[in-house]
Amino acid sequence: MAYANNFIALLFLLIFSHTFVQSDEEGHIKLEISNKGLDFLNNLLIKEAESSFVPLELPKIEKSVKIPIVGKVKMVLSNITIERIHVTNSTVKTGDTGIVIAVSGASANLTMKWKYSYSTWLLPISISDEGSATVEVEGMEIGLTLSMKTLQGSLKLSLLESGCYVKAISIDLYGGASWLYQGLVDAFKGKISSAVEDAMSKKIEDGIINLDSLLESLPKEVPINDIAALNVTFIDDPELTESSLDLEINGLFSAKNEVVVSNQYHRMLGASSSCKTANRMVRISLHEDVLKSASSVYFEAGKMHWIVDKVPDQSLLNTAEWRFIVPQLYKLYPNDNIILNISVSSPPIIKIGNQQIHSTIPLDMVLDVLDADKVIPVACISMSISASIYAEISQNGLTGIVKLNDFTVSLQWSKIGDLHMHLIKAVMSTTLKALIVPYVNLQLWKGFHLPSFHGYKLQNAQIFCTDSWIFICSDLVST
């Protein structure tokens, strides 16, 4: 009855929230956990329960039993302890009602102490004895239904229903006479069974409360390094379908410890994908806004500039090497060293297309001459580099290949008169193709190590890019 009332209240809440609270928040990272992934998580949960539930002490049981010939005997079972729980079969299903976990064929081993006393008119003293016993619980069945909601950006797990049923138990008594054995078994089987059922149900309730506070304690922001943090606030209630459990998180980068209200990102709804979860545990979908927000945070933090004062062929950074391209530079500053002050002039434009990530990077390159220890800026050339990145996941982690598509150069300002931009472009083209792109590809080939999460990492991962989304389908393994 209470359950029915709760259910109606919940239903009202759902209808209410959907009608009146029009949420305009969108998740930019989606996590879909397939049935295979849920099985994996369920097995972890069961293993954890098997080890953390025991030893589990049950309240002592007292009973007076009438035994033929002997008379009325007072029996006490104490120190009843579940020492071991073993689950052989469990299943998890998602559906309209919630997450349903069914355990069938679990067994448990118990130990206990027994004691009896009785007095009879035949003897002047009361008789008592004590010993120990082991109990084996067979065919225990456990079922629970969980609901998962999002509350203030955290996942909230609650137990809607649970039940535990003990099918059969057998008792082995050490010490005692056969009359005692029969009396004990007959009188206590039912009581021990229901004590086990009650204790297990209570333990499951506590276990879910613990799991819920663990979920609640998960941070809403994960620091990536000392500049950026990833917003992992959950958005909307998890969606339960027959084939998966779908979660959405905000997923945008922000400057660390700074509240950035980023309204400029609007993802398109209804991402479809070529990456199927059927044979993988999870699918992670990243919207291109995640990459945009990351690049914008790094840009704002002033992390996108480089001073180039060392190159493999150092003579390139001397005015002498440039005398045919920029003769006036050589004339003014003969044989002086040059440094290049390169900075990204506005956040790179990122678009995720079919199997590739397009990026346009606007750069300003200031040519500095080092003359008698003074740094003299002489000219600034603006460039716009358009490249495609082909991402892959290999044993090295996340890797990729960059292909240069196109680039433009223009003169921003100059203190040394006009420059021959077509010559400059030719030099830059050679430099990009022969030096920069191979260097970047070498770095990319080394790969970015994919972080492990609480001791689990991705395995057999595949990556796909389509219209505005990157999809990663993967299994999980413990590290």
Ligand X SMILES: *[C@@H]1O[C@H](CO)[C@@H](O)[C@H](O)[C@H]1NC(C)=O
Which residues of this protein are in contact with ligand X, per CB under 6 A? 25, 78-79, 84, 89, 91, 102, 104, 109, 136, 231, 233, 235, 250, 254, 259-260, 307, 341, 343, 366, 368, 375
Dihedral sign for Cα atoms in the order 187, 193, 195, 196: positive
CB of 58 to ligand X, least distance (A): 11
Side-chain-side CA neighbours of residue 68 (13 Å): 3
Q: Which is nearer to ligand X, 69 or 259 (CB)?
A: 259
For residue 352, give the H/E element and its range: strand 349-352
Q: Which is nearer to ligand X, 252 or 391 (CB)?
A: 252
CB of 255 to ligand X, least distance (A): 9
Q: Which is nearer to ligand X, 71 or 139 (CB)?
A: 139
Q: Which is nearer to ligand X, 138 or 448 (CB)?
A: 138
Backbone φ, ψ for residue 209 (5° rounding): -60, -40
Q: Under 8 Å CB-to-CB from 320, ≥6 apart: which residues?
A: 330, 334, 335
Q: Which is nearer to ligand X, 67 or 103 (CB)?
A: 103
Q: Is residue 462 within 8 Å of residue 450, measured between CB atoms?
A: no
Q: Measured in whole angstroms, how far is the alpha carbon of residue 34 from the centre of its chain?
A: 14
Q: Which is nearer to ligand X, 169 or 366 (CB)?
A: 366
Residue 310's SS3 state is: coil
Q: DSSP H helical segments within 356-434, as ranges? A: 421-431
Q: How far apart are CA 448 and CA 398, in angstroms?
A: 5
Q: Which is nearer to ligand X, 39 or 321 (CB)?
A: 39
CB of 382 to ligand X, least distance (A): 12
Q: How far apart are CA 239 and CA 253, in angstroms?
A: 24
CB of 235 to ligand X, least distance (A): 6
Q: Count other Cβ atoms within 10 Å, centred on residue 208.
A: 17
CB of 221 to ligand X, least distance (A): 6
Parallel, antiparallel, or unpaired: how do β-strands 126-151 and 168-174 relate? antiparallel
CB of 34 to ligand X, least distance (A): 19
Dihedral sign for Cα atoms in the order 220, 231, 281, 476: negative
Q: Which is nearer to ligand X, 341 or 388 (CB)?
A: 341
Q: How far apart are CA 425 and CA 407, in angstroms?
A: 9
Type of residue found at 70? V
Closest CA to 199 of 110, 104, 89, 92: 110
CB of 138 to ligand X, least distance (A): 9
CB of 448 to ligand X, least distance (A): 24
Backbone φ, ψ for residue 316 (5° rounding): -60, -30
